[in-house]
């Protein structure tokens, strides 16, 4: 019962932020929403009691991939504002 509610909340957050990834006007905002999606996925893994995969997900995707994406976006010229 309670785990169903938690599952609904986490999946709503994941789905909404993945929609926002393609909807956001600025690239940096998309990257932040992508981080939200990936953390939501880690939450789903935690619900399945797969702690190891959940924290590896946070370490690899949020820690490394999002940092790399943000680095790339910030070091290139801001073209999206024109």
Partner 1 sequence: MNAYELIVNILTALGAYEPVLNIFKAHGAEYVLKVIIVFVEIVVLMAFVLVTVMFLTWMERKVVAMVQVRYGPMVTGPRGLLQPVMDGIKLMGKEDIIPEKADKWLFTLAPFIVFIPAILVFVPIPFGDYLIISDLRVGLLYIIAISAISPVAILLAGWASNNKYSLLGAMRAVAQDISYTIPLALAAIAVVLFTGSLSTVDIVNAQSGTWFGIIPKWFIFLQPLGFILFLIASIAEMGRIPFDFQESESELVAGFFIEYSGMKFAMFFLAEYAHLFAVSAIVVTLFLGGWNGPIPSFLPAFAVPLVSLVYFLIKTYAVIFFAMWLRDTVPRVRIDQLLNLGWKIMVPLALLNLLVTGFLVTILANGVI
23 binds partner 1 (CB under 8 A): no
Q: Which of 16, 20, 47, 56 binds partner 1 (CB under 8 A)?
A: 56
48 binds partner 1 (CB under 8 A): no
Please give the backbone phi and psi of residue 45, each rounded to the nearest 5 degrees, phi first: -60, -40
64 class by beta-carbon count within 10 Å (0-12 exposed, 13-18 middle, 19+ buried)? exposed
CB 61 within 8 A of CB 14: no
Binding site for partner 1 (CB under 8 A): 2, 26, 28-29, 32, 35, 51-52, 55-56, 58-59, 62-64, 66-67, 70-71, 74-75
């Amino acid at each position: 019962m309670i785990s169903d509610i938690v599952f609904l909340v986490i999946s709503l957050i994941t789905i909404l932020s993945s929609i926002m990834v393609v909807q956001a006007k600025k690239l940096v905002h998309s990257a932040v929403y992508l981080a939200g999606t990936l953390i939501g996925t880690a939450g789903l893994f935690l619900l399945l009691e797969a702690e190891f995969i959940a924290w590896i997900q946070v370490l690899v995707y949020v820690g490394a991939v999002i940092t790399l994406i943000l680095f790339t976006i910030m070091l290139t010229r801001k073209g999206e504002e024109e």
